[in-house]
Structure 1
Amino acid sequence: MAPMALTLILGWWLVAASRAEHLPRPSLSLHPSQGVSLVDNVTLRCHLPRPAARVMLYQDKCWRTEKEKEKGQTTVEFSFPNTKWTDLGVYQCQYRVLDPPGTSEQSDPVELLVTDHSYPPPGISLSPEEHVEMGTNVTIQCWNYGYQGTIFLHRDGHSAPVQCQDPDGVSTATFTLFGVTPADAGNYRCSYRPGGSYFQFSPLGDNVTLKVTPGPAHPGGTEQLHGNMLAAVAGGCAATLVFILILILFFLLSARRRRMWTDESHGAPRMPEAVQLQVPPSDSESLTYVELQAEPPSTRLPAPPASPQPSVIYAQVRTGGAR
């Protein structure tokens, strides 16, 4: 009995583990995503890809709290009123289903950091300034006035930093945007995390605005493009015509060769039709020349010679007396 129970338990565990591998992962977001200060209200939202029974929240890989999901709920919120130092850290969420039983993997981590206003905001510069032609490389420099640590580049509308650098002993970070497009336009700011302080950030600094304009049109570019299109179309038509002519010639040659092969396969050349020759009326059998050739000579008897006909002499007789 004991081995059977052990087998059932092991089977259930294997099914649960397999189910956990196939459950889609949840996602976790932080609101507000930046500029959080101590005593501010912070909300962590766990987004569920499928119905779940319970949702668990982890802080720095350790279980922090959990909630039961209500019917029809696709997002479960965990709120921290009056954020404290102990609330800072790295968070992940996870959910559990009952039918069939299984547990999903943990979400990607989200950092809950606070802004320490005792640090001055960083400086920022943009080169070239503001209006930049599309395809140009743009450089953004940020400096933190000697506080070391990591410098972050932020873009308005994005919750996470777009780039970061650890200057290693200097206070200035250089961020390069290669071949900018209109999608890179926007307001950029910087912040930094002072050396030795992991969950504290400086306030966001002033913003610089990047505006991307289309590059100058090349003279004659439209005409050249139109000419290239016409040349391409003409070349395509000519190639198609040549291809069609080659196909027609190929089929004609194939048909002629097929006709010659057919004539050769039927045998010897055709004989001319027999011509009937009429024999003189004296020949009573009235056979044609071909029939005479077809009849064996041994079976034919020579015809008797025709009896000679008497000669007829015509004379002119004149009557009457002499004049």
Structure 2
Amino acid sequence: MKKAILLSLITSLQIGSLAANTAVREWQYLDGKKFQALVLDWNSETDVVTLANDAGEKSEVKRMELSLSDQAYVRQWFTHREKLDAKLTEMGGGLEFKQTTGKYTIDYYVYKPSSYVADGSAPMMILFSSSGTGYRMMLRHFEAAEKAGLVLVTADYFSNHTFDFYNKKGLRKVSEDHFREMLPQLEVISHDPSRVYLGGDSGGALRAYFYSAVIERPWAGIYANGGWLARDYTMQCREGMRVAMVNGHKDHGAIAFTKPDTDYLSEKRGCEVALFSFEGGHQLATTDAQLEAFEWLLGKEGE
């Protein structure tokens, strides 16, 4: 039987030690009932999850009684926790687990490098995962973000499956309403508004290009890892950005569009484009390739 869990409308808490995930988030049972809680522990042998409400009252629930996405969230978090905790301790940065408020509820993750100072000077990058796994995207990129001195934001939900993709008039709305609601909640993070970058892998890169076109902000650049413009050369990407195209040397699909995309971005949108390569196919770039691209976007290539 499910134990009752008091509801709370707390948004999120920053976590210093990752011994437990102390981000309050919305959970859901298989029957659709929702509640707010933070996860304290998961016993993989009994498959019991320990939760707590904002008053500190603990309760237990079988992981399999939760929604399929929450079941995956628990396994994902505790599978990687020990390794992530050690890496964060080594690097000295801080990771926050948060959840948006409003009409839409989206889990997102914020990494602040050890050099971070909340004085409005930090550059920030928002990365989209083609698979919608923001946590995995964070795990694969926060080391390069640390070395580049970059605040990094990743999020769940924004996957290729949440594209509205094509209609007769071409590429249109790409979960735009979700991102428009989320963006003001990201902007409360102290950062330099003139140095905000969008990026992603594959379809996540396409999403980044699209948001730069439809959402008016002084976007500084795009990090496109194995992504291209999908032949949409009517997309009005923000003019004057820096665009880093990062492709595996065997990613023939992405490489085939490098020239037409570069021609369009440079000639029609006045963007400065740089190409970066790593050994591999259509996959996430190596940390070294990420760092090289991040530093170029930040204008550090000559330092």
TM tier, smaller: under 0.3
Larger Rg: 1
TM-score, with structure 1 as normaliser: 0.21
- TM-score, with structure 2 as normaliser: 0.22
More strand as a share of residues: 1
